[in-house]
Structure 1
Amino acid sequence: MKPLLLSLLLGLVAIQPIIAQKPRTVPEWKTATSNGYTYRYVTNDPMKTRFYTLRNGLMVILSVNKKEPRIFTFIPTRAGSNTDPRTNTGLAHYLEHMLFKGTDRYGSLDWAKEKPLLDQIDALYETYNKTTDSVQRKAIYREIDQKSGEAAQFAIANEYDKMIASMGGQNSNAFTSYEVTCYLEDIPANALDRYLALQAERFRKPVLRIFHTELEAVYEEKNRSLDNDPWKVEEVLMATLFPTHNYGQQTTIGTVEHLKNPSLVEIRNYYDTYYVPNNMAIIMAGDLNPDEVVKKIDKTFSFWKPRDVQLYQPAPEAPLTRIQTRDVFGPTPDNVRIGYRLPGALDVKASLLATLTDEVMSNSAAGLIDLNLNKQQKILGGGSSLEKLKDYSVWSLSGRPKQGQSLEEVKDLLIGQVEKLKRGEFDEKILRAIVNNYKLNAIRELENNYSRVNPLLEAFINDKGESWLNYTRRLDEMGKITKKDVVEFANQWMKDNYVIVYKRKGEDKSIQKVDKPAITPVATNTDKQSPFLETVNSMPMAPVKPVWLDYKKDIKRGKAGLADVLYAPNVENQIFRLGYRLKMGTYHSKLVGLAAQYLSFLSTDQLTAEQVSTEFYSLACNYAIQPGNEYTTIRLTGLQENFVPAVTLLETLLRTCKPDEKALEELKGRILKQRADAKLNKGAIMQGLMQYAQYGPKNPFNNQLTNDELQKVTAAELVAFLHNLVNLPHQIIYYGPQPLATFTKEIVTLHKLPAVFAAVPKKQDFKQIPQAENQVLFADYDMVQSEISWVRNTRAFDPAQTPIIEFFNNYFGGGMASVVFQTLRESKALAYSTYAYYDTPSKKDDQYTLIGYIGSQADKLPEAVAGMNELLNALPESPVALDAAKKGMKKGYETERILQDGVIYNYLAAEEKGLDYDERQKIYDALDNLSYADLKKFSDEYLANKPYTYCIVASEKRVNPTDLNKYGPVKKLSLEEIFGY
C-alpha cells in the first residue's frame, strides 16, 4: 500500500496502536452447504467470500455488498502472455480483443454466408504467415482486405457492447497480463440474467470476425507502447531480470514481427486450450444472493466441458550474481530504475517480508527514501514499488535527478538507502505504523465492489483461491514480523544482483514501427441486430426505483463560528473525512500551489518537519491541500478515534509553521526542473494546447508564476500566506461517525476561527474565446504517433440542455458502442483510442466545449482528421445504438447511488451551476421523449460545419505540413507559449 496523500516522513515520536484489537480466532478454511451447493469460506473473512467449484470445474467466487444495487464482475482465465507460444507472442492479447466480436449467434446477419468467407480469410492468413516475399505478401494482404470487406457485409460490429449498454452495464473492458486475461463489467444487480446469458454465449463459440481492422487497433496499441518511455523501461528491466522466464522474454502486446504475421489457427488453438471452465472463474461482488447466483451460473454454464490444462511451468531462473546496466532512450525526462528479483507471491512469508521491506523503504510518508531523499530534497523525486507475480516478484526503486544531477548520482543515493535498510538504520516502530495503515486501508477496501474483486482475482490467478486464507491472515502475520526479520530478508535478497535501467533523454534509434497496411473501411451494420440480441434485450429485469438526492434532506447543515458546516453521516465504519473548502484558488493567487508544496518541508514551534509527518503516519491519518481554480480544499482523513489529535496536528502545522529559506531554495530548484520535465511530456503539451485553444494565450493552464517570479518569492511571504489560509472564508465539510451536534461542538474548539474572515484576493477571470475560423495549433514532439484534439467553444451553460447533451455524449462518443468508436476504430481502423464529447462547464457563466480526440499513426493523420470531421458534420443514425444508449442511461441512473461525502460534493457542484436539485432526475425524466431528431438538431446547431481549433502534437519529421494547412492557418506554438515559463 502506497498512501497517495501521505507526503511527510518518519521522525522519532512514539507510534501508538490506532485500531482496537479484539480477541479473534485464527482464520481457517471451512466448508458449508446451502441451497444444494457446497462452498468453502475462510472464517473471519470481512468480505464473507464464498468459493464454489462447479461440476465442470468452473470456480464461482462471490462477495455480498448491499450498498448499491450493482455488481462488479471479473471473468478471468489463468492464461496470459506467459502462455503465448514463442512463435506467436501477443496471441493472448489478440484473443482478448476478439472476444468482443461475437459468435455464430450474435454479431452476424447471416452466419451461413459469413462463415465460408471467414474460412477463406483464415487460410489467407496462414499463407500470409508463411510467405516471406514482400511483393507476394502485399498481394495476399490485398486479398485479405477484399475478403474481409465481403465478410463484413454479414457482420454486426459491437453487438456485445450494445447488449451491455442496454442492460445498464458500465466500465466494460478487458486486460491481459503475464498470467491472466480478464473480462470485467459493472452491471445493475437486476441485469444478472441478461449478463449470464451473454457471457455464456460469448465463451461458447467465439468467432474471429472483423479481424484485420482489430489487428490494426493492436498495431496502434503497439505503436503507442513504442512512444511510451516507462513501458520501454519496464520491458528492458524485465528482460534483464528474467533471461529465460517468459516474464522477461515475451511482452504482452508481442513483437513487431509476430504482430505482422498473425495466425487465426493458433489463436483458436489457444482459446480451445486455455478457455475451459476448470481454468476460469466468475468473480462477483455486490448486491447479490449467493444461493441464487451460483444456481443460475451452474445452469447457464453447464454446457461447458472441462479439459486438461497445462499451464506455463518454467525452469527456475539461475540466481543473479552481478549488477547489470541498461540504457533506454526517448524524449521524456531522465530517470533511473533499479530492479531486484524476489520470491513469488506463493512464498507467503517472503511475500509479507517483501511488502514490509518495500514500505520501510518508501510509503509516501515515512520510508527511508521519503525521509532521506525526498524530504531532504536530495533528488527530484523517488520511491519504491513491489510487483507480486506468481513465480517471482520484482522490487523496484526509481528516482529522478535534480537540475545538474546525473543519473549515476541518483542511483548511488537510492542504493545508499538499500544499504541503510540492510544495516537496520530505521526505527522498528515504523513496522507497527505500516501495519496500522494497512488495517485502515483494509477497511476502505470494503467500501466498493471493485476493491473487493481485485484481491479475489489475485488469489484465483495464484492458486485458484487457496491463497485467500493467507490474504485474510496477512494483517496478523505482518504484525508478527520484526525488524530483525526485515533486515535478514534485505541482506538475503538485496545484494549486488540488481538491474539498473537508465532512461536517458535522446533519440531511440531502435524503434521498429509497425507499418500501416492498406485497409479498406468495412461495413459495421450498426443499425442491424441479431435475433440473439433481441432475445437478451427482451429478458425481464426487475424494476429498480432510482434514488435522487434531496439536498435539503440528505445534507445536514450546521455552524462552527463563522463557518457553515456541511455534514453527512458515516454509518458504515469509523473512518472520517474532514474538509476546509476555502473560497480562494489559483485564479485568486498563484502562490497556492507553491505554498501547498512548501508546507511539506516546514517545522512548527514544537515539532520538526520529520516529527510532524511521524505523527500523521502513526495516527494513520493523512492531509492534503488541493488547489482548484476558484476553491482550495484542505482535506484530512483517518480513523475517528484519532480525530482530535489529527485535527490538532493539522491546525498546529497550518498556524505555526516556520519559514525555512534553505528548504525553499531547494524547492525552487526542484520546481524549475519539474517545469523543464513537463515540457518533455506529450500529455502536458496537449493539455496546454487545448487550454490555449479554449482561452487564448493567457489561460488557466499557464496561469502560474514565471520562473523570475518564482525566484523572487520569499519564505516569509509563503509562511504568511499559509498562516492566513484558515482565516479566509470557508465551509467545513465532515463525513464521519460523529453526530452533527458532537462534531460542531468539537470542531469549534479545535478549529479556531477569526471574528471576521480575511479578505480574499481579487480573482482573475479567464474567458473562453470563440472559434471564428478553423485553426491549427501545432507542437512538435518526437514520437511515432500523432495526437489530434478538436476544440470548439459554443454557448453558455443552460440547464434545459442537460438531458440532450448527456444523451448526445452517450450516443456519439462516450464508449465502445458509440458512433465515434464504431466508425473510426471498428470500421476504419484509424486509432486505438478515440472519443468525443460535449463538455458541460462547471460554472453557470462558462461555455460548453466540444472536445474530440484521436491518436493514430502519423501517416494516418489526414484520414483520421477526415474521419472525425465527417462524424461531426453529419451525425450518423443507428436506431439500435440509439436504443441501447437510452436504455443503458436509464438503467444506469436507476442503479446509481451517490454515497458518503459524495452527496456533499455533488451538491456543491450543482450549486456552482446555479442548481438546487439533482440534475440526474431531469435527465432521467426526459430520456423517453428524446429522439434521433433531437440529437440531429442539436448536432447541426452547435457542431456541424462549424470552425474548430485542431490541436496537434506530432513529430515534424512524420507529418506533412501541406496536410496541416488544409485544416486552417497553422500556428506552431513554442513550449514557452504553451507553459507560460
Structure 2
Amino acid sequence: MQYVSPKSILLFIIVSFVIAAGEYDPLEVHTYTLDNGLTVYLNEDHNTTSVFGAVVVRGGGKRDPQDATGIAHYLEHLLFKGTDEMGTVNYEKEKVFLDSIQVKYDELGATTDETKRLAIQGEINRLSIKAGEFAIPNEFDRLVEGMGGAWINAFTSDDVICYLNKFPGNQIEKWLGIYSHRFVNPVFRLFQSELETVYEEKNRAMDNMFRQLFTTYLKNFFKEHPYGQQTVLGSVDHLKNPSLTKMREYYDTYYVANNMALVLTGDIYPEDIKPLIEEKFGTWKSGELPGPIDITESSFNGREKIKKRMTPIKVGIMGFRTVPAGHEDEVAINLCNQLLTNESKTGLIDQLEVERKILGAGAFNMDYADLGANNFFFVPKLFFQSLTKAENLVLGQIERLKSGDFDDGYFNAVKLTMIRQHEENMENMEGRLFTLVDTYAKEKSWDDIVNWPKKLDEITKNEVVEVANKYFGDDYLVLHSKMGFPKKDKLEKPSFEAVIPKNSEQRSNFALKLDEIPEGKLNLNYIEFNKDVKYGDI
C-alpha cells in the first residue's frame, strides 16, 4: 500500500475542491421572473447529489383577517391534503360532501348557542366521515417520500408561508411536477381531523409561559400592527370557529404567481431545468395583490412599563423601536447586538452573567418586513435582586455601547466572527435555501446577501456608537413579570367519531401520471486517482 502523507492529503482536498468548484460558483444564484410573475431562484452546487426545494408565499399571519386569525397557518396544513386530482379516489362524489361541510362551518361561525353548535358539529362530523370514504390520506407525503424525498415540512411566520423538502437531484422533473400541481385547485379535505393537530399546537403554545409572556409583550409593543395584535396560531375563539370560506379567500388572494417564489439549491443544472420550470409553473395564475399594510407605530412615551404575573421566576423584557428588514441601518444594529451579547459570551451584557451580577440576560433583533424592534431580556438573581435593578444593569451596559466603551480589538473580533458565521451558513445548501426564502420574504436581493460581509466590514466604531444612540434612547417598553400562573383557555379536542379514511393503499390518477415521468440520471462524481489526485510537498 502506498503511503500518503498528511500534507499530501491536504493538497488532495484543496485540489479536489478547486476542481469541483471550477465549473460553477456555489454562491451564484440565477434569479429571474416568469411571465406570470413567479420569482425563481436557482443555486447550483454539485458538492451534493441532493436538491433542497421550496415554494414561498408572501403574506403570513399578518395578512390574516382580523376576525379569522390563524387562517394562513390552517391553510398551510390543508395544502398537504391534495387537490382535485391528488389525494382522492373520486373527487366528483367527494365534492358533494366537502361543499356541504364548508356551508356548515360558516353556519357554525355564526352560531353562539352551544346546543345548536354541538348539533352543527355533529352534522359536520357525519359529513366528514362520508367525505373520508373518498380521501387518500397522506398521498402527497408518500409521493415525495417515494422519490427519495425527506425533510417534508412547511412553516408559517408573520411575513411568509414556506413549503419545502429535500430530494435526489435525478428526481427534479417529478418534484417540479408535484409542487407545481399541489398549489393548483387544492382541496380542503379531512379538515375536521386536522383541527386536532392545530388545536394541539395552540395548546402547546399556551402551555409555554415564556411564549405567552412574549405574546403579551408584542401586543403592547406593536399596538396597531398585526405583528402584535394577532398571532400566527390565531386566537382561541377564532380557532373554535374556522371558516373554510375565508381560508379559500386567503388562498385566492395570496397564492398567486406574482406573490410566490420557487427556490432550488443543490444538484441542479439551471439551463437544463428552466424549460421544465416554464412548462410546469408558467401556467400558474397571477392576481391583483392588496397594498402594503400601511400602519406605523408611535414612539413610546419615555419608559412605558407593564407589570404581569406570568412566569415561574422573575423575568423582564424591554424593547426599542428600530427598522424593518433592508433598512440601511439594519447591519449596524445587528452588529450592536453582537457587541452586547454573542455565542462566545464576550458581549457587554454577557459580562453581567459571567461576573454573576445577574442570573441571565441577552439581546435579539426582530427585523420584520414592515417594522423592526430590538429587544433585551433579563432574569434577576432569585434572591435580593429586583427586576428594576436587573433592568438598570442591562441599561448600564447599553450605555457603555452608546459611549464607545469597548476596545478596537474586541470590535474587530466581533465583526470577524459575524463574517465567519455568515460564510459557514453559505457553505451548505440548507443555509442558502433558508437565506433565499428570507431574501424573498423581505424583498431583498441576492447581491445584498453576497455583499453583506463587505458592508459589515466597512462599519466603523463611530458608526456603531451613532446607531446605538439613534435607536437605544429614553423611549422604550419594558415588561416586568413576577411569579404567577395565569389561567389557560385550553382548546378541547372535538369528541366526535374519528374520520378514518378507507383508501390508505389506493393511488390517485395524479400519482399514476407521475409514475410515467422517468427518473433522470444520478450525477455521481467519482474520484479518479490518476487524474484528480496530485502529490507534492507543502
**So what's the TM-score if we normalise by structure 2?**
0.89
Q: Matches of 1:399 and 1:106 in 2, distance apart?
A: 50
Greater shift, 492-501 or 138-147, is seen at 492-501
Measured after TM superposition, the shift of residue 444 of structure 1 is: 1.4
Q: Matches of 1:282 and 1:206 in 2, distance apart?
A: 18
CA contact (8 A) 1:337 1:396 kept: yes
Q: Tell me the equivalent position of 2:219.
A: 239
Measured after TM superposition, the shift of residue 326 of structure 1 is: 3.0
CA contact (8 A) 1:60 1:282 kept: yes
- Deviation track 1:287-311 (CA, whole Å, cap 9, x = no partner) reads 1111122221111112212111114
Residue identity in the other structure for 1:281: A
Q: Matches of 1:92 and 1:352 in 2, distance apart?
A: 30
Q: Matches of 1:259 and 1:305 in 2, distance apart?
A: 30
Among 370, 381, 384, the residue aligned to 1:402: 381
Task: Please say if 1:479 is aligned against 2:457.
Answer: yes
Task: Please say if 1:306 is aligned against 2:286.
Answer: yes
Measured after TM superposition, the shift of residue 214 of structure 1 is: 0.6
Task: Please say if 1:429 is aligned against 2:409.
Answer: yes
Measured after TM superposition, the shift of residue 135 of structure 1 is: 0.9
The 1:436–1:106 alpha-carbon spacing in structure 2 relative to 1, beyond 3 Å, is same
Measured after TM superposition, the shift of residue 545 of structure 1 is: 8.4
Measured after TM superposition, the shift of residue 489 of structure 1 is: 1.4
Q: Matches of 2:26 and 2:355 in 1, distance apart?
A: 40
Measured after TM superposition, the shift of residue 106 of structure 1 is: 1.0
After superposition, where does 1:404-483 map in structure 2 within 5 Å? Answer: 404=383, 405-463=385-443, 465=444, 467-483=445-461
CA contact (8 A) 1:60 1:294 kept: no
What SS class does the counterpart of residue 496 from structure 2 fall into? coil
CA contact (8 A) 1:256 1:514 kept: yes
CA contact (8 A) 2:170 2:523 kept: no
Q: Tell me the equivalent position of 1:492.
A: 470
Q: Tell me the equivalent position of 2:237.
A: 257
Measured after TM superposition, the shift of residue 185 of structure 1 is: 0.8
CA contact (8 A) 2:169 2:522 kept: no
Q: Tell me the equivalent position of 1:361.
A: 340
What SS class does the counterpart of residue 402 from structure 1 fall into? coil
Residue identity in the other structure for 2:238: H
Q: Tell me the equivalent position of 2:505.
A: 527
Q: Matches of 2:421 and 2:125 in 1, distance apart?
A: 52
Q: Tell me the equivalent position of 1:387.
A: 366
What SS class does the counterpart of residue 395 from structure 1 fall into? strand
Q: Matches of 1:443 and 1:225 in 2, distance apart?
A: 34
Among 129, 148, 168, the residue aligned to 2:128: 148
The 1:425–1:545 alpha-carbon spacing in structure 2 relative to 1, beyond 3 Å, is closer
The 1:273–1:545 alpha-carbon spacing in structure 2 relative to 1, beyond 3 Å, is closer
Measured after TM superposition, the shift of residue 354 of structure 1 is: 0.7
Residue identity in the other structure for 1:162: R
Residue identity in the other structure for 2:235: T
CA contact (8 A) 1:70 1:188 kept: yes
Task: Please say if 1:71 is aligned against 2:51.
Answer: yes
Measured after TM superposition, the shift of residue 455 of structure 1 is: 1.8
Measured after TM superposition, the shift of residue 333 of structure 1 is: 3.9
Among 42, 53, 58, the residue aligned to 2:33: 53
What SS class does the counterpart of residue 518 from structure 2 fall into? coil
The 1:740–1:497 alpha-carbon spacing in structure 2 relative to 1, beyond 3 Å, is farther
Measured after TM superposition, the shift of residue 435 of structure 1 is: 2.2
After superposition, where does 1:87-166 map in structure 2 within 5 Å? Answer: 87-166=67-146
Measured after TM superposition, the shift of residue 271 of structure 1 is: 0.3
Measured after TM superposition, the shift of residue 327 of structure 1 is: 4.2
What count of residue pairs does the alignment treat as equivalent?
Answer: 507
RMSD of Structure 2 on Structure 1 (CA):
2.3
The 1:180–1:162 alpha-carbon spacing in structure 2 relative to 1, beyond 3 Å, is same
Measured after TM superposition, the shift of residue 546 of structure 1 is: 8.4
Q: Tell me the equivalent position of 1:516.
A: 493
Q: Tell me the equivalent position of 1:862.
A: none
The 1:538–1:231 alpha-carbon spacing in structure 2 relative to 1, beyond 3 Å, is farther
Residue identity in the other structure for 2:496: I
CA contact (8 A) 1:79 1:311 kept: no
After superposition, where does 1:832-847 map in structure 2 within 5 Å? Answer: none
CA contact (8 A) 2:159 2:441 kept: yes
Q: Tell me the equivalent position of 2:19.
A: none
Q: Tell me the equivalent position of 1:295.
A: 275
Q: Matches of 2:260 and 2:416 in 1, distance apart?
A: 35
Identity of counterpart residues, as a percentage? 36
Among 345, 349, 361, the residue aligned to 2:325: 345
CA contact (8 A) 1:77 1:280 kept: yes
Measured after TM superposition, the shift of residue 250 of structure 1 is: 1.3
Residue identity in the other structure for 1:522: V
Measured after TM superposition, the shift of residue 386 of structure 1 is: 1.4
After superposition, where does 1:829-908 map in structure 2 within 5 Å? Answer: none
The 1:318–1:190 alpha-carbon spacing in structure 2 relative to 1, beyond 3 Å, is same
After superposition, where does 1:918-957 map in structure 2 within 5 Å? Answer: none
Among 208, 211, 214, the residue aligned to 2:188: 208
Q: Matches of 1:153 and 1:494 in 2, distance apart?
A: 60
Among 150, 153, 159, the residue aligned to 1:179: 159
After superposition, where does 1:448-847 map in structure 2 within 5 Å? Answer: 448-463=428-443, 465=444, 467-509=445-487, 511-524=488-501, 525-544=503-522
Among 214, 225, 229, the residue aligned to 2:205: 225
After superposition, where does 1:13-28 map in structure 2 within 5 Å? Answer: none
What SS class does the counterpart of residue 451 from structure 2 fall into? helix
The 1:104–1:62 alpha-carbon spacing in structure 2 relative to 1, beyond 3 Å, is same
Q: Matches of 1:329 and 1:68 in 2, distance apart?
A: 51
Q: Matches of 1:536 and 1:399 in 2, distance apart?
A: 54
CA contact (8 A) 1:110 1:154 kept: yes
| Structure label with greater radius of gyration | 1
Measured after TM superposition, the shift of residue 459 of structure 1 is: 1.6
Q: Tell me the equivalent position of 1:10.
A: none
Structure 2 unaligned spans of 5+: 1-23
The 1:503–1:157 alpha-carbon spacing in structure 2 relative to 1, beyond 3 Å, is farther
Q: Matches of 1:46 and 1:538 in 2, distance apart?
A: 32
Q: Matches of 2:446 and 2:362 in 1, distance apart?
A: 29
Residue identity in the other structure for 1:394: A
Measured after TM superposition, the shift of residue 533 of structure 1 is: 1.5
Measured after TM superposition, the shift of residue 361 of structure 1 is: 0.9
Structure 1 unaligned spans of 5+: 1-43, 554-570, 572-738, 743-981
Q: Matches of 2:290 and 2:113 in 1, distance apart?
A: 36
CA contact (8 A) 1:117 1:150 kept: yes
Q: Matches of 1:319 and 1:160 in 2, distance apart?
A: 48
Q: Matches of 1:356 and 1:141 in 2, distance apart?
A: 53
Structure with more contact order per residue of length (Cα contacts < 8 Å, sep ≥ 6): 2
The 1:248–1:331 alpha-carbon spacing in structure 2 relative to 1, beyond 3 Å, is closer
- Deviation track 1:306-356 (CA, whole Å, cap 9, x = no partner) reads 111114422221122232233454564433222222111131x21012111
Residue identity in the other structure for 2:343: S
Q: Matches of 1:382 and 1:84 in 2, distance apart?
A: 33
The 1:295–1:327 alpha-carbon spacing in structure 2 relative to 1, beyond 3 Å, is farther
